[in-house]
């Protein structure tokens, strides 16, 4: 009676593993095809500062005539760009500020970027985390534990400081054991300052000749200070828990 049960369990486990691997392969192929199509068809040419300034009048006319549709298209586009880690998020934020105003654009960017970042986070976790933990679990163990204890503060710092690429934080976070809710909350809060700065700059689109004009040393310095402030609870916790 025991042997058939054991054999059945092994077969079901193998079937589950096979279906899981098939799912991972399909998702990976779909993402690769989408990213490949983006670069092969050169969609990136539409997500440039020059293209935005060239088509600003037609974009503004379309938005005024179809405001709800424009908002929906903007958010969906942002989800795709962030979810597939494609270049162009900064240009989209500028476009949002130009078309919708700084405050409303910040809200739309937050919805699109947070949703896309969460999809990238979940994809990295589903596709890569098990493999990474199997190969490097011994070395990553302490890091995983430390990151999980202070995940919100760490993620908030990474989001506030623009020195860390948005898509890198998405993918690396997926390899950790951080809770999905914590990841979403830290992302949604952490990207607000940067989103507002670029959306506000989008209102003066005609005077911008380079993205470097927006990301000035003073602006980056302010973001760094905000990021360091987010680490204050972690530092306090470490000193408070030390034995006297």
Q: Could you read off the pLDDT of 214-232 as tens digits, one per residue?
A: 655 555 665 566 566 556 5
What pLDDT, on the 0 to 100 scale, is given for residue 24? 85
Distance of CA 10 to the CA centre of its chain: 38
Give 47's contacts (C-beta < 8 A, 6+ positions apart): 81, 86, 87, 88, 91, 92
- Label residue 236 by pLDDT band (50, 70, 90): very low
Higher local confidence (pLDDT), 171 or 224: 171
Average pLDDT estimate for 105-124: 95
- 3-class secondary structure for 9-41? HHHHHHHHHHHHHHHHHHHHHHHHHHHHHHHHC
Write b or e for each residue in 120-156: b if 16 or more Cβ atoms lie within 10 A of its Cβ, otherwise e. bbebbbebeeeeeeeeeeeebeeeeeebeebbbbbbb
Give 128's contacts (C-beta < 8 A, 6+ positions apart): 174, 175
Q: What is the percent of the chain with per-residue pLDDT over 90, rounded to a whole number?
A: 35
Count the alpha carbons within 13 Å of 244 in the hemisphere toward its beta carbon.
Answer: 1
* pLDDT for 45 beyond 80: yes
Q: For residues 22 and 59, what is the distance between their CA atoms, to the nearest angstrom?
A: 42
Average pLDDT estimate for 42-69: 91
Residue 17: count other Cβ atoms within 10 Å of its Cβ: 10
Q: For residues 45 and 71, what is the distance between their CA atoms, to the nearest angstrom?
A: 21
According to DSSP, residue 125 is labeled I
* pLDDT for 142 beyond 50: yes
Highest mean predicted confidence (pLDDT) among 25-39, 42-56, 193-207, 213-227: 25-39
For all residues of the chain together, what is the average pLDDT?
80
pTM here is: 0.80
What pLDDT, on the 0 to 100 scale, is given for residue 11? 47
Q: With contact defined as beta carbons under 8 Å apart, do 116 and 79 qualify?
A: yes
Instruction: Determine which of 35-44, 68-77, 232-241 has the lowest per-residue pLDDT on average.
Output: 232-241
Instruction: Determine which of 11-25, 93-107, 205-219 has the lowest per-residue pLDDT on average.
Output: 205-219
Give 158's contacts (C-beta < 8 A, 6+ positions apart): 164, 169, 190, 227
Residue 30: φ, ψ to 5°: -60, -45
Distance (Å) of CA 89 to CA 61, 166, 232: 22, 9, 29
* pLDDT for 112 beyond 70: yes
Average pLDDT estimate for 101-113: 95
Q: For residues 84 and 170, what is the distance between their CA atoms, to the nearest angstrom?
A: 10
Residue among 161, 138, 72 at smallest CA distance from 111: 72
Q: Which residue has the tokens 């597939």?
A: 84
**CB under 8 A, 24+ apart: contacts of 2-8:** none
């Amino acid at each position: 009676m025991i042997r058939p049960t054991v054999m059945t369990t092994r077969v079901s486990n193998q079937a589950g593993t096979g279906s899981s691997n098939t799912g991972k392969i399909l998702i990976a192929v779909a993402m690769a095809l989408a990213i490949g199509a983006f670069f092969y068809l050169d969609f990136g040419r539409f997500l440039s500062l020059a293209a935005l300034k060239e088509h600003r009048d037609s974009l503004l006319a379309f938005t005024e005539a179809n405001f709800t549709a424009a908002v929906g298209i903007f958010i969906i586009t942002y989800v795709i760009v962030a979810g597939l880690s494609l270049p162009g998020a900064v240009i989209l934020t500028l476009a949002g500020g130009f078309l919708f105003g700084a405050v409303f654009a910040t809200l739309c960017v937050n919805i699109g970027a947070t949703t896309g970042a969460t999809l990238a986070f979940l994809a990295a976790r589903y596709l890569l985390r098990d493999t990474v933990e199997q190969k490097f679990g011994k070395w990553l163990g302490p890091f995983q534990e430390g990151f999980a204890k202070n995940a919100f503060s760490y993620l908030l710092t990474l989001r506030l400081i623009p020195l860390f690429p948005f898509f890198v934080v998405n993918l690396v976070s997926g390899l950790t054991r951080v809770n999905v809710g914590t990841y979403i909350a830290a992302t949604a809060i952490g990207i607000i300052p940067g989103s507002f700065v670029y959306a506000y700059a989008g209102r003066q689109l005609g005077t911008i000749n380079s993205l470097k004009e927006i990301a000035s040393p003073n602006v980056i310095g302010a973001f760094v200070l905000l990021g360091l402030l987010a680490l204050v609870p972690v530092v306090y916790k470490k000193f408070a828990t030390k034995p006297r």
